Structure 1
Amino acid sequence: MNIEMIEAAAARLAGHARRTPLLSSPFLDEIAGRRVLVKPECLQLTGSFKFRGAWSAISALDPAVRARGVIAFSSGNHAQGVALAAKMHGAPSVIIMPSDAPQLKLANTRAFGAEVVTYDRANEDRDEIGARLSAERGLTLIKPFDEPQVIAGQGTAGLEIAEDLLEMGITEAEVLVCCGGGGLTSGVALACADRAPGLRVRPVEPEGFDDVTRSLAAGEILRNASMSGGICDAIVTPQPGNLTFPIMSEHCGPGLVVSDEEALQAMAQAFLRLKVVAEPGGAVALAAALTRTDSLQGDTVVAMISGGNVDPAMFARALATL
């Protein structure tokens, strides 16, 4: 991985992905005790940052390989990103999704034209399923985070953050990123390290699924004890990626961990103050910006809302915290 790959991905994404802005609210600043800038990737195509990596990876394939189709496994956001990117390239897609994924994500993935194959998150190995179907059908596997071109695509969000902050005259800030396997976090960290080294990228995870935070502290990859039980389905992964962990180890600060209740409260604040919709896993970075104030440095924090694909019942649960 290098900055040239991220720049190349940005060129391929031009005209296809949305450049999301940095939003602010004096109410959020007051809660956090510092300036809070929010990058709403919930406004990205398919409702999350995952479209960036999906387009990057699929657009980089040889046309003949791409025409045979792609396969991906995801709880929903990577699924939708790959499904739409494949459809826009005229390629078939098969998406492996946990049976307990939010119904909205399952429905949207099918609506983008993908064939959806469900599995039991607690008892079946999605990697094995993906490898088997890929071999049987001649499909190219687009991994959700541990794939160079996917990391490069996610890193384009980091280029935008660095460029927008420098335009605002901000050279130092904490950049909080919702983190599962680390594709987004590592891509953003690589981009910021090159373009604005005064920015410190920090992964944020939900309690009980803090494998990246624990791994960074231990200096080695550690697994989560469980793969179910929380509400932040978008960022629940077994462990950091073999490609993403070294990047995060080199370029990221310590991880931060928030509770499900704090994620719900951040969803409510994002809606109330910024008029944007976040899903639980997409709101953990904003939750950390608002509640982990003693763990942050400087007078500016950037929090990414990584996705907004939330079922109505869960969103109502978040609004009930107001």
Structure 2
Amino acid sequence: MVQAYEAETESGDPKDPVTPSRSRLRRLGPFRSWRGDPGIWRRGLVLAGCAALVALLTGLHAHVPNRIGNLGSLSETFLPWLTVVTVPLLLLVALWRRSATALIALLLPVLVWFNLFGGLITDKSTGGGDLTVASHNVNADNPDPERTAKDVAASGADVLALQELAPGRVSAYRDALAETYKYHAVQGTVGLWSKYPLQDVAPVDIRLGWTRAMRSTVVTPQGEVAVYVAHMPSVRVKMRAGFTASERDRSADALGEAISRERVAGVVLLGDLNGTMNDRALKSVTAQMRSTQGAAGDGFGFSWPASFPMARIDQILVRGVEPVSSWTLPRTNSDHLPVAASIKL
């Protein structure tokens, strides 16, 4: 009798018992019928405006000014995440508000995102590469440099570039890699290890006052390749100064100038650029080279931070050669993931 009474008080029909929890769910916005509700088009105009703003910021990111705190470069560093994070949140609110206008508007940022990044989702790798290259920021405070060196060498790379080599630990990397790589050269805090001879090794001035970039000609069985190794200055996000990247930007311009003067037809750049391919501040480099991840990778290939990769700031860029595959390697003791690529000469 008690159960029948409770059912009748909730549903009005003792033959159709409804629990209190189900009744409350039916009264909630997302579970109510939208039919016959004229407000579905009037509600959510603010949400629709937010969706349109996300679409504009994503599609027209190049027009976000850098004059104030380098906001343009900051947004471009994490550009894919702008839509990935905001659209699901706006979608939940639109459903809660029962706004058809907001739901339709959410199609805008989704379409813009797929137009910019949809090509990165599919696997574009092919076979037939002549040379495998790898790059890794090993972290100056790496507690086990020998293990890190061996882990990266296990990738089978013919040419390996390392950045952030602490002066007192270069010998550890040299000893760990000696069995795999017959040739190597270190300039400042960057180094290059190769199974093929190295010629014309020289530092590259990137306007820092100390050496964080180098160049060498790698003599492969298929011909010569100019290989650059670079570690751009770090960037920071500060409350008052914003995205501080002026030092990195100057170094990127200097690196771009050096590469533009390169006379060897095939060029490969390996390094931690502390910026993504979308970042306009790196255009002096990215405008003249292709990303192996964008051309032959599978996915975004995020490399930093290693614990939860959110951006690809470790790059393998090429000019005059054809990338056939690109991938990230398993995590080491560094805060960056190693990256690798196979190229056809």
Category of TM-score, reference length = shorter chain: under 0.3
| Structure (1/2) with the larger helix percentage | 1
| Structure (1/2) with the larger strand percentage | 2
**What TM-score do you get using the length of structure 1 for normalisation?**
0.24
